Chain A
Amino acid sequence: MDSNATWPSTLVERIVKGDRSAEAELVERYSSGLRILIGRHSRDESLVDDIHQDLFRIAIQRIRLGELREPEKLNGFLCGMARHITIDHHRRAAKQPVADDEEAELLISTAPGPEDLALAQERMRVAAEVLAELEIDRQREILRRFYIGDEAKDSICEDMGLSSLHFNRVLHRARQRFRELYLKKIEKKHLGGVR
């Protein structure tokens, strides 16, 4: 028996029976992924948090009530709910007029804090290091055009005479190297040892 295929069904069954640990498991397993999905539609961290909370509250409620009739489609159920709740939040926010002092508070609360700015600086430095490590201009051009210029892969490959494999290899190495360096920097920061 393939445990992966039965897994969502088993979890849903446990939630229906009132198993609180199953609910915690659901949140732990899907939290990061759903935050990315929600975050695609909003840069406001506090709004993402609100939607994230609402999503799990409503999802668990509905699962308990047996509304998820096809438990193996749990992923699709959660994604659909995430999209609806996000749209709903934005609609409500658009309809409500904001008073001047509320607007000021909103600006202050959504402005990046010192920790966010420090992380953004670190990302910039690490990205510049990754670029500087590249010995060939063509590799730098691929990253520039794809990530900064937002050009399509096909157009870059055709223009530069690259194969899809070569293109993917450059991206893969840049991503790996960035992650390696970025995690090292963040770790050093948290341990208090900045070079």
Chain B
Amino acid sequence: MDHSFIDDQNAAERYLKGQLSSEESKRFEEHFIDCTQCIERLETIAQLRDGLKSAAVALPRVVAINERVKPGKPRWRTVTAVAAMLLLAAFAGWFRYQDWILSSQLQQSQLASRGWETRVNALESQLRDRASQVPTPPAAVYSLDAMRSSGSRGSPVQTLRIPSSPAILVILINQEPVPEITSYRAKLQNAAGEEVARFEDLRHQGGAALAVTMTSSQLPAGTYQLALEGLMGAARYTPVGRFDFRVAVQ
């Protein structure tokens, strides 16, 4: 038995799963018992299989594949994503409106007499400032799922890949609405335990996710934890979920 057969037929994986015939098993065993490459591969496969099976039990959301959308029935995530895009469009529209106001004022000033020169300069300066603040579209939308691990923070498994250029980030926190909870607040901490951002009065907007917006400069590469609390009754906040994630800058 040679390595091209072993590679092509996935002999190592099939051996460990007991899917080789007895003749093939025998031949493979006689090969691998003194083959460093095959021994390493068998050890890696056994460990990977072990790890994946454990992860499937402990972290099902990491392993599960997104279900297909039933025709004619919009998914709550799609609805929430659309809502987030509309929110984004509103932000962009607001910036553009500000630009239009300043541009119009500038035009009027230029048509007037020389006495408006100082005002023209000031308006030009404001336009330049505004242009540098407008994030480059498109903005990015991300989805966060709650961790199910107990105990202290373990290694995060969700990775948000954010653009290196300035952008608005919309983060959808997947949290099913709870009837007793009227609103939510969230605290975002970095790996050092420092508070990076705080969001108050978060509410579901027709879907099963809460949306928060941030700028890409607020999330440098690293690991983060978002702690979500729900407001029950008058003024009592109760912990609802913990969302661990890692940020990678593209």
The chain A residues found within 8 Å of chain B, CB to CB, are 29-30, 32-34, 36-37, 40, 75-76, 78-79, 120, 123-133, 137, 140-141, 143-144, 146-148, 150, 152-153, 164, 168, 171, 174-175, 178-179, 182
Contacts and interface: CB of A to CB of B under 8 A. Distances in A.
A148 B43 contact: no
A148 B48 contact: no
Dominant secondary structure of chain B at its interface with chain A: helix
Contact of B45 (A75, A125, A137, A175): A175
A99 to B, nearest CB: 33
Contacts of A175: 41, 44-45, 48
Contacts of B49: 147-148
A137 B51 contact: no
Contact of B47 (A36, A123, A137): A123
Given A33-B35, A33-B39, A148 B66 contact: no
A132 B157 contact: yes
A144 B168 CA distance: 34
B43 A76 contact: no
B8 A127 contact: no
B88 to A, nearest CB: 23
Contacts of B7: 168
5 contacts: A33-B39, A40-B16, A123-B48, A140-B65, A153-B14
Contacts of B47: 123, 178, 182
B33 A124 contact: no
Nearest to B19: A152
A146 B65 contact: no
B44 A178 contact: yes
B13 A146 contact: yes
Given A36-B43, A124-B58, A178 B48 contact: yes
Contacts of B48: 123, 127, 130, 147, 174-175, 178
Contacts of A152: 19
A147 B33 contact: no
Contacts of A36: 32-33, 39, 42-43
Contact of A144 (B40, B41, B50, B63): B63
Contacts, number: 120
B: contact size bracket: 35 or more
Given A75-B30, A146-B13, 14 more contacts: A33-B39, A36-B43, A79-B29, A79-B33, A123-B48, A127-B50, A127-B51, A127-B55, A128-B55, A140-B65, A141-B65, A174-B48, A179-B44, A182-B51
B56 interface: yes
Contacts of A124: 50-51, 54-55, 58-59
A78 B32 CA distance: 12
Given A132-B158, A140-B63, A33 B32 contact: yes
B75 interface: no
Contacts of B8: 164, 168
Contacts of B50: 120, 123-124, 127
B149 to A, nearest CB: 10
The list of the 10 closest CB pairs from A to B, nearest first, reads A127-B51, A33-B33, A123-B51, A124-B54, A75-B30, A128-B55, A128-B157, A178-B48, A127-B52, A179-B44
B180 to A, nearest CB: 32
B159 interface: yes
A148 B56 contact: yes
A158 B198 CA distance: 49
A32 B39 contact: yes
Contacts of A164: 8
A144 B30 contact: no
A144 B51 contact: no
B174 to A, nearest CB: 16
Contact of A148 (B26, B44, B53, B157): B53
Nearest to B42: A36
B145 to A, nearest CB: 11
A6 to B, nearest CB: 15
